[in-house]
Chains A and B, each alone.
Chain A
Amino acid sequence: MYVAVKGGEAAINNAHRLLADRRRGDRSLPSVTIEQIVEQLGLAVDRVMAEASLYDRALAALAVRQARGDMIEAIFLLRAYRTTLPRFGSSVPVDTAAMKVERRVSATYKDLPGGQLLGPTFDYTHRLLDPSLLTDEPVDEPERRDTPQEHVMRVSDILAHEGLIEGDGEFSEDHQAGDLTREPLEFPMSRDLRLQALARGDEGFLLALGYSTQRGYGRNHPFVGEVRIGEVEVEIEVAELGFAVSLGRIRVTECQMVNQFKGSSKAPPQFTRGYGLVFGQSERKAMSMSLVDRALRAEELGEDISAPAQDEEFVISHSDNVQATGFVEHLKLPHYVDFQAELALVRKMRLDIEAARKGDRGELQEAAE
Chain B
Amino acid sequence: MDLAKQIEPNAEIAARRRAVGLLARAMTNELHAAWEKLPAKPEVKPVRGPETGLVMVRGRIGGGGAPFNLGEATVTRATVLLASGTAGHAQALGTSKENVRLAAIFDALWQEAGTRNSVETTLLGPIEARIAVEDKQKAEETAATRVDFFTMVRGED
Does the CB pair A55–B74 fall under 8 Å?
yes
Measured between alpha carbons, how far is A344 from B33 in the docked complex, in Å? Answer: 74
B149's partner among A111, A148, A156 (CB-CB below 8 A) is A111
Asked whether, in the complex, the Cβ of A247 is within 8 Å of the Cβ of B24, the reply is yes
Of B59, B92, B135, B144, the contact of A145 (CB 8 Å cutoff): B144
Tell me the bound Cα distance from A247 to B75 in angstroms. 8
Which of B13, B93, B142 sits near A234, CB closer than 8 Å?
B93
List A contacts of B149 (CB < 8 A): 110-111
Q: Which residue of A lies closest to B141 (CB)?
A: A142
Interface residue B117 (Cβ < 8 Å from any Cβ of A): no
A-chain residues with CB within 8 Å of residue B70 when the two chains form the complex: 94, 195-196, 199, 252, 277, 279
Asked whether any CB of chain B lies closer than 8 Å to the CB of A250, the reply is yes
Cβ contact of B69, chosen from A49, A86, A196, cutoff 8 A: A196
How far, in whole Å, are A162 and B71 apart by their CA atoms in the complex?
A: 34
Binds A, one of B35-43, B47-55, B118-126: B47-55
Report if A311 contacts B (CB, 8 A): no
Within 8 A of A (CB), among B46-99: 51-75, 77, 79, 87, 89, 91-95
8 Å CB contact of B62 from A148, A168, A244, A246: A168
Assembled-state Cα–Cα distance A248/B72 (Å): 14
Chain B proximity of A185: nearest CB distance (Å): 13
Q: Which residue of B lies closest to A179 (CB)?
A: B69
Q: Which of A116, A243, A254 contacts B146 (CB 8 A)?
A: A116
Q: What is the CA–CA distance of A168 and B51 in the complex, to the nearest angstrom?
A: 37
Is B57 in contact with A147, judged by CB distance below 8 angstroms? Answer: no
Contact B58–A177 (Cβ < 8 Å): yes
Does the CB pair B25–A171 fall under 8 Å?
A: no
Alpha-carbon gap, A192 to B62, bound state (A): 10
Do A58 and B95 have beta carbons less than 8 Å apart?
yes
Q: Does A273 contact B (CB under 8 A)?
A: yes
Q: Does A193 belong to the interface (CB within 8 Å)?
A: yes
- Contacts A177-B66, A256-B62 known; A86 to B141 CB distance under 8 Å? no
**Chain B residues whose CB sits within 8 angstroms of the CB of A7 once the complex forms:** none
Cβ-defined contact, A254 with B147, below 8 A:
no
B32 part of interface (Cβ distance < 8 Å): no
CB of B130 within 8 Å of the partner chain? no
Whether A87 pairs with B55 at a CB distance below 8 angstroms is: yes
When C-beta atoms are compared, the residue in chain A nearest to B131 turns out to be A249
Are the C-beta atoms of B64 and A97 separated by less than 8 Å? yes
Whether the pair A195, B61 counts as a contact (CB closer than 8 A) is yes
Asked if A284 is at the interface (CB within 8 A of a chain B CB), the reply is no
Q: Which residues of B contact A177 (CB under 8 A)?
A: 58, 66-69
Flag the segment in A100-108, A209-217, A302-310, A354-362 that touches B: A100-108
Contact of B20 among A82, A88, A246, A275 (CB under 8 A): A246
B74-A85 in contact (CB<8A): yes
Interface presence of A90 (CB below 8 A): yes
A117 touches B142 (CB 8 A): yes
Smallest CB separation, B97 vs chain A (Å)? 13
CB distance from B71 to the nearest CB of A (A): 4
Q: Are A87 and B56 CB-contacts (below 8 A) given A144-B144, A169-B62, A245-B91?
A: yes
Question: Which residues of chain A are within 8 angstroms of B92 by Cβ–Cβ distance?
Answer: 247-248
B140 touches A144 (CB 8 A): yes
Which A residues are CB-close (under 8 A) to B69?
Answer: 90, 177-181, 192, 196
Minimum C-beta distance from A309 to chain B (A) = 19
Q: Determine if B55 and A234 form an interchain contact, defined as CB atoms under 8 angstroms apart.
A: yes
Q: Are B145 and A243 in contact (CB under 8 A)?
A: no
* B16 in the interface (beta carbon within 8 A): yes
Question: Which chain B residues lie closer than 8 Å to A181 at the CB level?
Answer: 69, 72
Q: Are B63 and A90 in contact (CB under 8 A)?
A: no
Do residues B56 and A179 form an inter-chain contact, with CB atoms below 8 A? yes
Please, how many angstroms separate the alpha-carbon atoms of A143 and B143 in the complex?
9
Minimum CB–CB distance for A111 against chain B, Å: 7
Nearest CB in chain B to that of A173: its residue: B66
Give the shortest distance, in Å, between A21 (CB) and chain B (any CB): 28
14 contacts between A and B (CB under 8 A): A54-B71, A55-B71, A87-B53, A91-B58, A100-B139, A117-B146, A145-B144, A148-B143, A168-B60, A168-B65, A234-B55, A241-B89, A248-B93, A254-B63
Q: A residues engaging B (CB < 8 A)?
A: 49-50, 53-56, 58-59, 82, 85-94, 96-97, 100-103, 110-111, 115-121, 142-148, 154, 156, 167-171, 175, 177-181, 191-193, 195-196, 199-200, 234, 236, 238, 240-241, 243-250, 252, 254, 256, 273, 275, 277, 279
The 9 A-B pairs with the shortest beta carbon distances in the complex, nearest first, are A168-B62, A168-B65, A169-B61, A169-B65, A192-B68, A246-B21, A53-B71, A55-B73, A144-B140
